[in-house]
Structure 1
Amino acid sequence: MMKDYIIKDINLAEAGKQRIEWARRHMPVLQKIKEQFESEKPLEGVNVVACLHVTVETANLIYTLKAGGANIALTASNPLSTQDDVAAALASGGIKTFAIKGENEKQYYECLEEALKIKPHVTLDDGADTIALVHSKHQELIKDIKGGCEETTTGVIRLRAMATDGALKYPVIAVNDAETKMMFDNRYGTGQSTIHGIMNATNILFAGKTIVVAGYGWCGRGVASRARGLGGNVVVVEVEPRKALEAVMDGFRVMPMMEAAKIGDLFITVTGDISVIRKEHFQAMKDQAIVCNSGHFNVEIDIPQLTKLSKEVNQIKNDVQEYVMQDDRRIYLLAEGRLVNLASAFGHPPEVMDMSFANQALAVRYINEKGRTLKNQVYRVPAEIDSRVAKLKLEAMGIEIETLTEEQDKYLHSWTLGT
C-alpha cells in the first residue's frame, strides 16, 4: 500500500503554507496558467511523479498541476534541497510527498520508489533520476507513461545519451532548453542563488578575492557576472573553445584548472561533469581555499580524493567542512559538495522559477496530449510555449513591446524585396 507521505514533521505545515503564499505572489505567469488549468482541467485523471527540489516555488508548480486535475506524487531530486516546512505543507494539503532534508542515499531512493507506486503517466525530473530508475528497475511502468519533462542541464545530458544509445523508452521534453528557462533560470537564478548560498555558509567578502568559476554555460555566466559585481577577480575554467573565447571577450581571465588552483581563493563548479576539481588541484591550492558546487550532482568535486589527502576532517559550522592536508593547509568544502544554492540558501528566486515552472506546467499538458505521437527522443520545448511564457512574463511586468506593421512583416518574409 502506498503511503500518504514521508516527511520530517507535519507540524511544520503552517510555516510552509505562509512561505508558499509569499512565493505565489511573485509568480504571476504560473498563476495565469493555474487559472486556465482550473477552468479547463487538461490533466484530469493523469498521474504525475515529480522528482524536483521541494521548495516554495516547486509547491506552486504542484498546485498548478493539481488545479489541472493531476494526481501527484512528489519526491526530492537532491538530499539537501528539501525545505521541510514546504514538504509538510504539501502533505497536509493531500499531496503525496516523500522528502526529508538530509536523507541519505538509501532513504532518497526509498522515497523515489514510494512515489512510483502511483504508476505515473507523466514524469517530471530535475536530474533524470526518475527516468533512470524506471528504465533500470521498473520497466513494467513504461507502457503507461506518455512522456516526461527534464528541468536541468545535467539531466538533459543523461537523457540525450540514453536516446543516442537507443535506451530511452519514452519521449522527454527538455524544459531546461527553453530560452525562458535556460537563459533566465540558469543565468539569473543560479548566478544570484549561488552567491547567496556561499555567503550564508561563510559570510566571506568577495571583493578582492580570486574567484574561480568552472564552466561558462548559462550557469557559469551568471555566477561569474555576479561574483565580479561584488568585486571578485574572476577566473573562468572552460573546455569548450567557443565558450572560453566568450569568457575572454566578456573580460574574464581564462586558464586551465591546474593554473587556477594555484591562485584561487574560492572555487565554484557549474559544469555538469565529474571530477572537475580533483587530486592534483587540491595539492596545488592555497591554505584556506574554499570549494563548492552549484552543478546538479555532488560529483564535480572529487570528495573521496580530498578525504584521502586529508589527515583530519572537521565540521566547523553548518555547511562548512574543514579538510586538513598533510602539510597543514586547510581546504573548506561547502554543503558536502552538493548544490550550494539550495543546500545553503533558498535556491532560485520565485520570479525566475515563475518562467521555469510555467514552461514545466505547459510541457506536462503538451506531453499528456501529444506524448503518444512522439518518438522516444529528447525534444525542445515547443516554440509556441516558450514564446507564450515570455509574453505572459512581460505582461506581468507591465511591459509593452513593439509590433510589426504589415509592411514590415511582408519585408521579413519575402525574398523579392531588398535594396
Structure 2
Amino acid sequence: MSSGTLKIEWAGQYMPVLAAIRKQFVKERPFEGMTIGMALHVEAKTANLVSTLAAGGAEVHITGCNPLSTQDDVAEALGKVKNVNCYAKRSCTVDEYYAAINDVLDAKPVITIDDGMDLIHYIHTKRRDLLKKVIGGCEETTTGIHRLKAMAAEGKLEFPVVAVNDTPMKHFFDNVHGTGESVLSSIMITTNTLIAGKYFVVAGYGYCGRGLARKAHGLGAKVIVTEIDPRRALEAHMDGFMVMTMEDAAVIGDIFVTTTGNCAVIAKKHFAKLKDGAILANAGHFNVEIDLEYLHKNAAKIIRRDGIETFVLGKKSVHVLAEGRLVNLATPKGMGHPIEVMDLSFALQALCTLHIAKNGKKMKGGVYDVPNEIDEQVANLKLASLGLSIDSLSKEQKKYSCSWDIGT
C-alpha cells in the first residue's frame, strides 16, 4: 500500500461526519452524470472529501490551490481512485499551476469547489465558454469570499456560489481551532524554537487571529495583536492581549503571523525596526501579506533551509517561513488543519455541493450563505459521533420564544 493511500486511510478514521455523509451519497448517488472541478489543498483530508463526492456518482477533476500545499504521494494515490483525475503537484511553477487549472476546466465541470477562487476567476476571465455549463460553486476560504463579494458587487459573478467559510461551523472550529493549532505546530516543527516567553504578534483579530492568539497564549507567549478595526482591537484588548500598531510591534516582536488576507501587512517600514532573528509567517491564503519583493531586492544575502528563507538586511537577519505562503500547509512538514476540524469543514463542503446540485439552476449569480439546516446537520452529526446529547425546546418554550404578547 502506498504512503499516500496510508495517509488517506489514517485521516479517514478520524472523519466520522464525512463518513456518514458518504453513506448517504453511496445510497442516493446525487451527482450521477455530473462533473465537479476542484482547486483545493491536495492532502489526505481533502482526498476523503474527493472520494466522498466520487462515491456519490461524480466525476471529479482536482488540482491544488497553492503551489506548495500539495502532498505528492496523496495526489498520486488520489489519481488512482475511480472517477477521480488529479493534476496537482508540489512546488509547481506559476505556469504549471495555471496549466493544471486549465486541465480541470477542460473537463467542463458543472460545479466548482474553490479555495481562493482561482477556478471561478479563470472561468469568468479566461474560460467564459464554460459559463453556460456551470450551475454553481462553493468557496472554502475567507480570501476567496472577499474576492467573490467584490465580484458580485460589480455584477460580474455569473453563477451562484455558496460561501462555505461564512458559517458558524466553519468560523468556530476551522478558523479558530484549525488555524490556531496548525499554524503553531508548523512554526514549531519548522524552526524548533520555543513559543513560551516570546512576544508573539498576530496581525488581524478575525476568527483565525483570535484562535491563533488564544493558542499562543496557552503556550506561554506574550501576545500582541495588530488591527485596523477599532471593535476587533477593543475585543482583543478585553480578551487580555496587548494591542498596538505593527510599527510598534515590529520593535519588540519575536514571531509574527499575518492573518488578514490583505497585502503589505509587514512591509518596508517594519523591516527596518525588526529584531535580529525575527520570524515571519503568513496564515492568509495568498503570499502577499509579507512584502517579499522588498526582501528579495534588498537582502545582502539569502540563506535557504527547509521551509525557511533567511534574509540578511545589514547587520540583522529576518526569517520568513514557507516563502510567505500558508505556513500550516506550505512548510515541508506542514500537515494543515487537524483531521477532526476538516471533517466538519469538508462535511459542509459535501452538503453544500449537494445543495448546489439540487438548486443551482434556480439560483441567480451571487454569493449565498450556507443554509442553516446544513450547518445544524453537520453539528448534529458530530455530536452523534461523540455520543453527546442536547436538549430541545418544548412546545411551551417554542411558543414563548416566538411570541410578543407575553409580558412580565
Shorter-normalised TM range: over 0.9
In the alignment, which residue of structure 1 is the partner of 2:320? 333
- What secondary structure does 1:92 align onto? coil
Answer whether contact 1:49 1:115 (CA < 8 A) is retained.
yes
| 1:229 alignment partner, one of 218, 235, 238 | 218
Answer whether contact 2:159 2:365 (CA < 8 A) is retained.
yes
Give the 5 Å matches for 1:167-186: 167-186=156-175
Answer whether contact 2:51 2:81 (CA < 8 A) is retained.
no
How far did 1:224 drift? Answer: 0.6
In the alignment, which residue of structure 1 is the partner of 2:364? 375
| 1:352 alignment partner, one of 327, 331, 341 | 341
- What secondary structure does 1:144 align onto? coil
Give the 5 Å matches for 1:135-174: 135-174=124-163
Q: Does 1:298 align with 2:300?
A: no
Tell me, in whole angstroms, the C-alpha distance in 2 between the residues paired with 1:207 and 1:53. Answer: 30
Tell me, in whole angstroms, the C-alpha distance in 2 between the residues paired with 1:261 and 1:253. Answer: 13
Q: Does 1:47 align with 2:32?
A: no
Tell me, in whole angstroms, the C-alpha distance in 2 between the residues paired with 1:38 and 1:373. Answer: 25
How far did 1:22 drift? Answer: 1.0
Answer whether contact 2:308 2:319 (CA < 8 A) is retained.
yes
Q: Does 1:80 align with 2:53?
A: no
Answer whether contact 1:178 1:359 (CA < 8 A) is retained.
no
Tell me, in whole angstroms, the C-alpha distance in 1 between the residues paired with 2:363 and 2:269. Answer: 46
Offset from partner CA, 1:115-172 (integer Å, 9 cap, x none): 1111010000000000011111000001010001000000000000000011111110
One-letter amino acid of the structure 2 residue matched with residue 18 of structure 1: L
In the alignment, which residue of structure 2 is the partner of 1:32? 20
How far did 1:418 drift? Answer: 2.8
Tell me, in whole angstroms, the C-alpha distance in 1 between the residues paired with 2:23 and 2:386. Answer: 18
In the alignment, which residue of structure 1 is the partner of 2:247? 258
In the alignment, which residue of structure 2 is the partner of 1:91? 79
In the alignment, which residue of structure 2 is the partner of 1:209? 198
How far did 1:290 drift? Answer: 0.6
In the alignment, which residue of structure 2 is the partner of 1:64? 52
Tell me, in whole angstroms, the C-alpha distance in 1 between the residues paired with 2:132 and 2:197. Answer: 57
How far did 1:104 drift? Answer: 1.3
Offset from partner CA, 1:248-294 (integer Å, 9 cap, x none): 11000011101001110010001000110000000110111010101
In the alignment, which residue of structure 2 is the partner of 1:126? 115
How far did 1:53 drift? Answer: 0.3
Return the TM-score normalized by structure 2. Answer: 0.98
Tell me, in whole angstroms, the C-alpha distance in 1 between the residues paired with 2:78 and 2:68. Answer: 18
Aligned residues: 405
In the alignment, which residue of structure 1 is the partner of 2:105? 116
One-letter amino acid of the structure 2 residue matched with residue 341 of structure 1: N
In the alignment, which residue of structure 1 is the partner of 2:6? 18
How far did 1:309 drift? Answer: 2.5
Q: Does 1:403 align with 2:375?
A: no
One-letter amino acid of the structure 2 residue matched with residue 238 of structure 1: E
- What secondary structure does 1:330 align onto? strand
One-letter amino acid of the structure 1 residue matched with residue 99 of structure 2: E
Answer whether contact 1:197 1:343 (CA < 8 A) is retained.
no
Answer whether contact 1:146 1:170 (CA < 8 A) is retained.
yes
- What secondary structure does 1:173 align onto? strand
Tell me, in whole angstroms, the C-alpha distance in 1 between the residues paired with 2:81 and 2:58. Answer: 14
| 1:275 alignment partner, one of 264, 270, 290 | 264
Tell me, in whole angstroms, the C-alpha distance in 2 between the residues paired with 1:169 and 1:410. Answer: 42
In the alignment, which residue of structure 2 is the partner of 1:342? 329
Tell me, in whole angstroms, the C-alpha distance in 1 between the residues paired with 2:383 and 2:235. Answer: 28
Answer whether contact 1:50 1:72 (CA < 8 A) is retained.
yes
One-letter amino acid of the structure 2 residue matched with residue 99 of structure 1: A
Tell me, in whole angstroms, the C-alpha distance in 2 between the residues paired with 1:80 and 1:222. Answer: 24
Offset from partner CA, 1:186-207 (integer Å, 9 cap, x none): 1100000000110111011011
- What secondary structure does 1:176 align onto? coil
Q: Which runs of 4+ in 1 moved over 4 A?
A: none
Offset from partner CA, 1:200-249 (integer Å, 9 cap, x none): 11011011110000011110011111111111000000111111111011
Answer whether contact 1:264 1:289 (CA < 8 A) is retained.
yes
How far did 1:330 drift? Answer: 0.4
Tell me, in whole angstroms, the C-alpha distance in 1 between the residues paired with 2:111 and 2:392. Answer: 37
- What secondary structure does 2:165 align onto? helix
Give the 5 Å matches for 1:283-322: 283-315=272-304, 317-322=305-310
Tell me, in whole angstroms, the C-alpha distance in 2 between the residues paired with 1:40 and 1:418. Answer: 49
Gaps of 5+ in 2: none
| Aligned Cα root-mean-square deviation (Å) | 0.9
- What secondary structure does 1:231 align onto? coil
Tell me, in whole angstroms, the C-alpha distance in 1 between the residues paired with 2:34 and 2:165. Answer: 23
In the alignment, which residue of structure 1 is the partner of 2:383? 394
One-letter amino acid of the structure 2 residue matched with residue 242 of structure 1: R
Offset from partner CA, 1:68-123 (integer Å, 9 cap, x none): 11110010001111011110111122420011111111111111111111101000
How far did 1:415 drift? Answer: 1.4
* Identical residues among aligned pairs (%): 51
Answer whether contact 2:282 2:324 (CA < 8 A) is retained.
yes
Gaps of 5+ in 1: 1-12
Tell me, in whole angstroms, the C-alpha distance in 2 between the residues paired with 1:242 and 1:146. Answer: 38
How far did 1:55 drift? Answer: 1.0
Answer whether contact 1:28 1:354 (CA < 8 A) is retained.
yes
One-letter amino acid of the structure 2 residue matched with residue 282 of structure 1: F
